[in-house]
Amino acid sequence: MSHGDLISEIRGRYQQESDVLNERQRRLWAAAEAMNLGRGGIAAVSKALRISPNTIKKGIREISAAAAAPATDPVQADDYRIRKAGGGRKIAQKLPDPRKKSQ
């Protein structure tokens, strides 16, 4: 299989599933695909999906850590978070409505 055919095949498989995957699931999917390809897998998946090789490497680390963890570990609420706690926009303070005249 040529390099171009491999890239097209990876891209095709990804497009079938990408609509239902969140950010973390996409990273893990890309990492699993790269691991299955073996040598050169990270570069091929990175090129096919147009994502950073570092993102794929992070996914590989997550998969390896999950495989090394005992199966009896209780599931933490943070395991389901996509981003770290505390991220995102801060809640705006409740301010008086400037359209109302103050008395």
The answer to whether the beta carbons of residues 59 and 33 sit under 8 Å apart is no
Q: How many residues does the chain have?
A: 103
Positive or negative torsion for Cα 83, 85, 87, 92: positive
Residue 23 CA: distances (Å) to CA of 20, 85, 91, 98: 10, 15, 24, 39
User: Total structural domains in the chain?
Assistant: 1
Q: Which residues span the domain enclosing 55?
A: 3-69
pLDDT in tens, the chain (103 residues): 677 788 888 888 888 877 788 888 899 999 999 999 999 999 999 999 999 999 999 999 999 888 777 666 555 555 666 777 777 777 767 667 777 776 5
With respect to residue 88, please indicate whether it lies within any of the assigned structural domains: no
Classify residue 78: in a domain, yes or no: no
In a domain, 81, yes or no: no
What does the CA dihedral 21, 24, 29, 30 come to, rounded to 10 degrees? 120
